[in-house]
A and B are shown apart, each in its own frame.
Chain A
Amino acid sequence: MSGFGPGRKLPHVRFDLPRRQSEDPCDLQFRTDLVGVRPAILDVQQGDTLDVELVEQGGARSVVCLTEEKQVVGALAAFQGFAQLIRCLALKNQYLAEVEVVSKSQCTVLVRRGTQ
């Protein structure tokens, strides 16, 4: 992160949408922050793998990331491809979230297809 400043041409920043690894529309991979991070995060460390689960409650659907002990760490939401992820989870596709950055209430994960 260097070489920029007033009057200097800014570097091109590339951001990918949640991308498919194949023609399969459920072969998703994306990086995002968890929303509503819970105290379970105290036990979570960089490199840990979380389960991604679709939760249906009172007719509303949400997606949460859980530890091996089934403690909710936080929710996935507010990104491009979120609705597709819900559709794929509803079709019984499975995803894992690898913890890339973790602090006392922030957790950035890389989500990809797979099982524990």
Chain B
Amino acid sequence: MIIVGGTYVERCEFPYWNQIYGSGLRAAVALSALSSNCALHTYVNELWLEDVEATLEAFGIKSNLLRTNERIVFDYLYGFDRLTRVDPETVEQSDAIKIEGDAVLRFGMLEGNACVKGRRVVFDPQYANAASFWDNGSEADSLALILNPEELIKSGLVNWPDDRDPRIATDEERNKAAQNIFDAARSRRVVLVVKHGVGGADIYTHDESPTRIPAYAADAFFKIGSGDVFAAAFAYAWAARQMHAVDAARYALLCSANYVECRQLPLSSPESMVARPEIGVRAISRIALSGSASEANAELLRHAAHAIGSLGGSADLQPIGLQDGLFDVGKADVVLGVFDLNANISDVEQLRSKIGDRRLIVFWPSPLLTFVDTPNTIASADYATALYLALREARR
């Protein structure tokens, strides 16, 4: 398995994370236990070169490391919120990496480009346009494109109006976008793998109806690198093992669930995967938001509403405070309660008592969290996990 992708530093404050990965190195480590011929081609800044070499040696990964002057660091406040915005236009471009092989995973990179030729190639464009795969002379007997719903619409429906959110496209529009990508690929064999925000994927092929695969439930959500793990697992199963795209995507989704829950690397083989409960595929229902009445918490609630919206859900931000007459849960099936350190158990219990039998997800970064014991409630001290759980429960 040949992997070509970036190697970057990633740092997160909640939860703490300070590692060298990036898509390329993470995918290589992920597949190191599965493929004895795992090879990584990547750009590396001199400052991290020997740390990357030592890591590759520890996992038995062959490599071709090209030095770059760029020192790219991605900072996150928490997993859903990347603080670093790197404009690809400002990054010094290195010479293209050229590789050939039977099974290749190519990630889009910031500081260069990879021209790949392979029998089965998986392309995760990341920062590039999905349709750009062939632009630099890359070729594949069979190509799998890994996209998110937004990229599917923008790549397949070029006249999509700017003022319309591509995430609310209908199934018909998505099918049309996929068909247009197939038409543009002409006689080339292409599979489209469209990932959803909190898990699940749609598989589009030339000759079969689209298949929707539900997400697998996880108890925690560490988002940084979860897309890389999905791409690595899918590439291993589909390109190296030549599994059917739908089976490969199921395996990749299970690997992703293991990763977001436990940060599991390297990956286990498809044969040794343990099943997880599936999350329904229905649209995400409304989520009501409430919690502590402080100004800082109000800011966090607004932030949560924004994050839920960006992941395909919709949220009703309730008036702050839980006073009688002010709190109305409306049509929401799920309530996300965001509490600050000044809150106490009775605040959580009060919210619980006001929402009937609806599911309650509590975010509360307090040691008292372990004492939350109200029915139909899940509590987490991790903000990204609480957001994920609210979205997951709103899909059941």
- Give A contacts to B, CB under 8 Å: 1-6, 8, 10-11, 13, 15, 31-33, 35-37, 60-63, 75, 77-83, 86, 101, 103-106, 108
Contact = CB atoms under 8 A, between A and B. Distances in A.
Nearest to A31: B16
Nearest to B14: A1
A77 B55 contact: yes
Nearest to A61: B57
B54 A83 contact: yes
B65 to A, nearest CB: 13
7 contacts: A1-B383, A32-B18, A60-B60, A62-B57, A79-B51, A105-B263, A106-B263
B54 A15 contact: no
B262 A10 contact: no
Contact of A62 (B20, B58, B264, B296): B58
B296 to A, nearest CB: 4
Contacts of B296: 2-3
Nearest to B294: A2
Contacts of A11: 77
B312 interface: no
Chain B's interface: helix, strand, loop or mixed, by majority? mixed
Nearest to A58: B60
Interface string B1-36: 000000001010111111111000100010001000
A31 B18 contact: yes
Contact of A13 (B13, B58, B294, B303): B13
A13 B263 contact: no
Contact of B263 (A5, A6, A33, A60): A33
A108 B222 CA distance: 13
Closest 9 A/B residue pairs (Cβ): A5-B303, A62-B58, A105-B262, A83-B50, A3-B296, A2-B296, A5-B299, A82-B51, A83-B54
Given A5-B299, A77-B59, 18 more contacts: A2-B296, A2-B300, A3-B299, A15-B75, A32-B18, A33-B17, A36-B33, A36-B266, A62-B57, A77-B54, A78-B20, A78-B21, A79-B18, A80-B9, A81-B51, A103-B262, A104-B262, A105-B262
B251 interface: no
A52 to B, nearest CB: 13
Given A4-B300, A5-B303, A108 B77 contact: no
A82 B78 contact: no
A5 B54 contact: no
B220 interface: yes
B396 interface: no
Contacts of B51: 78-83
Contacts of B264: 37, 105
A13 B74 CA distance: 12
A10 B306 contact: no
A78 B300 contact: no
B53 interface: yes
B25 A1 contact: no
B297 interface: yes
Contacts of A31: 16, 18
B302 interface: yes
Contacts of B160: none
A6 to B, nearest CB: 5
A79 B300 CA distance: 31
